[in-house]
Amino acid sequence: MSPPQLQLRGLQSARLSRHYQLPLGRILVDMGVISAADLLRALAIHNQCQAPIHQVLLAEGFASARDILHAQAAQHAAISLMLDEAPPDADCALALDPLTCLEHGVIPWMRLGETLVLATCHPDRFEALRDLLPRDIGPVVMGIATEADVHAAIALCHGPQLSELAETALPEEDSCRSLRAVASPRRLRRVALAALFGVAAVLVQPLLFFALAAGWAGLTLVAVAGLKLAAFLARLRTPLPRPQAPPKTSGQPAPPKVSILVPLFRETSIAAQLVTRLSRLTYPKSRLDVVLLLEAEDLLTRQALSCADLPPWMRILVVPPGELTTKPRALNYGLRFCDGDIIGIYDAEDNPAPDQIGRVAAHFQEAPPEVACLQGILDYYNPYSNWLSRCFTIEYATWFRIVLPGLSRLGFPIPLGGTTLFCRRRVLEQVGGWDAHNVTEDADLGIRLARRGFRIELIDSVTLEEANCRPWPWVRQRSRWLKGYMATYLVHMRRPGALLRDLGWRRFLGFQALFLGAISQALLAPVLWSFWIAVFGLGHPLIDWMGPATETVVLSFFLLAECAGLVIGATAVASPQHRGLIPWVPTLLFYFPMGSIAIYKGLIELLIKPFYWDKTEHGHSNSEALIDHREAAP
């Protein structure tokens, strides 16, 4: 459509005097788009949740985005703009930077003579925006476009710049992107020399080398076991908070806007199931914005979603190509296209409790401002697929139902889970979002929040996932997690003094036990396994060297640590839906050795391709019906 035609449309809109400045609902009724009964229902929802009426009409399916656009154009006597009819002029779009455009929901669309047509999806905010525009932008007239078209136009005109911003959201000193230097030839030569030195030490002084390794492994075992035991005791003292949704009365504050980011990559097998699962959420749809993040190259997932019937409150956002293809990069990109007060993260295979968002919103309304993030409980819907899924379920139950809640109550920094976490938007922006280069961006975010003085709380709401129940995919997934743990530890220990000042001695030591302890235990697990020889009465060269008294102490502690782990694991699965897993807890002794394979794979990748995202494939289990959310409550 040519500029004169657009100008004519604007003039025609201005002449619709019977609609100018009338309520939007009445205009839609006059246009025959909605009935009076539909309008009354929409107004009732509007009064209940205080969402703008156009969002209510769209989210509840009373009117389409295009019908609302035409009604708004008539209401404000403005030009209506549609991307498929008249895309924005690329040169015009550069008049405002993309971050300003995203913050205010606007984009310069075209010029009519000397006048700039500024498209907005928030016409009620346009007059307030005028004072924020650059002085040299010239005369401005309002055009109205749908939010989808405004966002698509911004992505079209500023995609490369926004992609680069998503990759560099954190300053260099706070990001692990400098680890790319680890893979340099010079650094690899140093690593090779260190490895040769280690081999030489083993050959020259094998007993001394093994003693040092065993000593460090034993020390970290004490630290990790002590931390888990302290968390276990703290967790037993009080239950997890289970906030009740606030009563729906006129005196209650309006529910906050919640944006949910769902990164997807090559998820063709479960894309349609995801839409079905998220559609069960009971939060007011006009206050919910679910954004499915797709990589530009992932045409198959986009095709799979095209067959799904997306509700109006769920949308697809394509992340433009860049240097990386990682989940945190997609999250950084998507965050700028959201306007929710609370930002939530789900994974492709997640099946959250229907009332979860309402409970999260209620908890945030009651929590003090320093509570920046809420972490829900992750559980598996296929725990009985095979032995591996049973052990994985026990491990997850121990971590999310015992260890993390206990550490939170003790005030220690905790590594977040990658999904079912919800953050205050202002805090996310304050800490710089996610590290796009870190393959465990969740763990890193948890530590950065703690360093800024914010708190993380665990909530009693469950999201079901699919347990990785195939050996090599399990190793690949775990290697990514452990590689991210190593990267996170290296980043935060660049300046140990600063980390100590930020956390204090107590939390600093907790950080060491969590990260350095976990890394050391996985790396040196074979050293500890060798002590089982002595437990079964066979000779062990190191124990023979230490003497009988030391042998008794070492073996006693070794057995006590294993027993404590078994007790914590059995307690974690003592709930009715997982009680059948208790007999399988002792078999964790054969499960955790797989972690050593994973960490050595992760260590090699940290040296040669630190940012490689070894993706976990989903959709291999059909056991979803085994556990529902009523049974999954802890």
**pLDDT tens across 99-124, in order?**
999 999 999 999 988 889 999 999 99
Read off the pLDDT of each residue in 589-616 and give the average, rounded to a whole number. 89
Tokens describing residue 210? 């093994």
Beta-strand pair 421-424/342-345:
antiparallel
pLDDT at 60: 93
Same domain, 195 and 163: no
Q: Which of 50-54, 449-453, 593-597, 615-619 has the highest mean pLDDT?
A: 449-453
pLDDT tens per residue, range 607-632: 888 898 887 776 666 544 445 544 45
Same domain, 632 and 489: yes
pLDDT at 191: 67
Q: Examine residue 217 and state whether it is found in any structural domain, yes or no.
A: yes
Helix (H) or strand (E) holding 352: strand 351-352
- Check whether 142 has a pLDDT greater than 90: yes
Residue 344, Cβ neighbours under 10 Å: how many? 23
Query: Under 8 Å CB-to-CB from 402, ≥6 apart: which residues?
Result: 228, 231, 232, 235, 568, 571, 572
- By C-alpha distance, which of 356, 127, 176 is closest to 260? 356
Range of the domain at 393: 182-634
pTM of the model: 0.91
Domain end point (choices 167, 195, 222): 167
Read off the pLDDT of each residue in 557-573 and give the average, rounded to a whole number. 91
pLDDT at 478: 94
Q: Examine residue 174 and state whether it is found in any structural domain, yes or no.
A: no
- What is the gyration radius of the CA atoms in the chain, in angstroms? 28
Same domain, 286 and 161: no
Q: Examine residue 464 and state whether it is found in any structural domain, yes or no.
A: yes
Average pLDDT of the chain is: 87
Helix (H) or strand (E) holding 374: strand 371-380
Q: Examine residue 27 and state whether it is found in any structural domain, yes or no.
A: yes
Q: Examine residue 172 and state whether it is found in any structural domain, yes or no.
A: no
Read off the pLDDT of each residue in 529-538 and give the average, rounded to a whole number. 68
For the chain, the domain total comes to 2
pLDDT at 328: 96
Same domain, 147 and 251: no
Q: Examine residue 411 and state whether it is found in any structural domain, yes or no.
A: yes
β-bridge partners, 373: 423, 456
Please report, for the domain that includes residue 85, its CATH number: 3.30.300.160
Same domain, 150 and 281: no
Same domain, 97 and 196: no
Please report, for the domain that includes residue 600, its CATH number: 3.90.550.10
Same domain, 192 and 51: no
Query: In 327-340, which positions are buried (b, 16+ CB within 10 angstroms) versus exposed (e)?
Result: bbbbbbbbbbbbeb
- Check whether 280 has a pLDDT greater than 60: yes
Q: Examine residue 177 and state whether it is found in any structural domain, yes or no.
A: no
511, 503 Cβ separation under 8 angstroms: yes
Same domain, 147 and 186: no
pLDDT tens per residue, range 345-362: 999 999 999 999 999 999
Tokens describing residue 249? 């009365």
pLDDT at 473: 92
Same domain, 218 and 283: yes
Domain end point (choices 116, 132, 167): 167
pLDDT at 332: 97
Domain end point (choices 115, 143, 167): 167
pLDDT at 307: 80
Same domain, 205 and 156: no
pLDDT at 539: 65
pLDDT at 202: 67
Q: Examine residue 175 and state whether it is found in any structural domain, yes or no.
A: no
pLDDT at 421: 95
- By C-alpha distance, which of 380, 97, 406 is closest to 107? 97
